[in-house]
Each structure stands twice: as C-alpha cells, then as structure tokens.
Structure 1
Amino acid sequence: MQRGWVVSPDYRTLISTLSSIRKELKISQRELARRVGKPPSFINKIELLERRLDIQEFIVIAEALDCEPGTLLNILRDNLEKELSL
C-alpha cells in the first residue's frame, strides 16, 4: 500500500474510480501505460497509491482512455463527498 505518506479517503476514491473506469473500458494497465508512453509500473504505482497523480498526468491518462479530461473529472467528482477537505 502507500509508503511514507498519508493518502486521504478522497484521493483513494479518485484513484479507485479511475481504475474502475479503466477496467470497464477493458484497458489493461500495460496497455494504458503504452498509450501514455510510460512503463507499466507507472500506472501500477498510481493505482496502488504509491505514486501521486498530478494534473498533467491526469489529462494525458484521460485522453489515453479516450475521455475528455473535463468529462472524466466530472465523473470522478460525482463519486466524492459534497464537501472535500485537504
């Protein structure tokens, strides 16, 4: 699981939702990594919460999943509590 830093429940929900979308689209971690030009461990570490996903990476991953980043962000937001905290 995570090593060395705390992961909020909201962030866990975001990554879990992103992983579920990838699986629903029947795209493997390996294939998604190929599409974004990274090794498979890149996607694996994000999904295992060992690596934080930044906004630029989010955009690239959304597009690799053939999703508009804004649409994907709305889907992720719908899975979170109304009130977010940092």
Structure 2
Amino acid sequence: MIKTISSPRYARLIGWLIANRQAKGLSIRALAELLSVTTTAVHRIESLERRLDVFEYVQFCAALEIDPLEGIRLLR
C-alpha cells in the first residue's frame, strides 16, 4: 500500500482543493476561519505536510461548497 501523503493522486486531490479555494477568492486565513482551525493547519494540509482524514476532507469540501464525490473521482 502506498503512503497516502506521498501519492501523486493525493497531491492531485489537494491541488483540486487549493484550486477551488482560490477560485472562490478565499485566502488560507479565510478558509481556516470557516473551518475553525488555525491558519497553520490549513497551510500544512495544502503543502502536503499533514494528511486529511475523511471527516476533515468532507468538512473542507463543505466550507468550499464543493461536492466531495467530485474529489473522490480524482483518486480513481
């Protein structure tokens, strides 16, 4: 089994989240506020230093108003 955080597919998923954040005009700080987490937490996730679990992923998608299934399809 491939370590998730070093997987190119995982990097593509995080890139998709970043692209959606940027398309909505949200800064890392603004997203962190929506998620009630620190700016550092969001930065570490976006820079692939920290892995998202499934629950956090769904929260990210909800904050960005995007469908989590669309991101899951990127992993296939």
Output the TM-score relative to the length of structure 1: 0.74
> How many angstroms does 1:72 deviate by?
3.2
Please state how far the C-alpha of 1:66 moved relative to its aligned partner. 2.3
Name the larger-Rg structure.
Answer: 1
Match of 2:69 in 1: 73
Unaligned 5+ runs, structure 1: none
Q: TM-score, normalised by structure 2?
A: 0.83
Percentage identity across paired residues of the two chains: 33
Residue 41 of structure 2 aligns with an amino acid whose one-letter code is F
Measure the CA separation in 2 of the matches of 1:6 and 1:38: 20
Residue 79 of structure 1 and its aligned partner are, at CA, apart by 3.9
Separation in 2, partners of 1:66, 1:6:
24
1:18 Cα deviation from its structure 2 partner? 0.7
Q: Structure 1, residues 10-41: CA drift from partner, whole Å, max 9, x if none?
A: 01101011100110011111000001110101
- Please list every run of 5 or more consecutive structure 2 residues that lacks an aligned counterpart in the other structure: none
User: Would the alpha carbon gap of residues 34 and 8 (structure 1) be closer, same or farther in structure 2, given more than 3 Å must change?
Assistant: same
**C-alpha deviation, 1:63, in angstroms:** 1.2
Q: Does 1:45 align with 2:36?
A: no
Runs of 4+ in 1 over 3 A off after TM superposition: 77-80
Residue 49 of structure 1 aligns to a residue in which SS? Answer: coil
Native 8 Å contact 2:32 2:39 kept in 1: yes
CA distance in 2, matches of 1:6, 1:39: 20
Is 1:30 matched with 2:9?
no
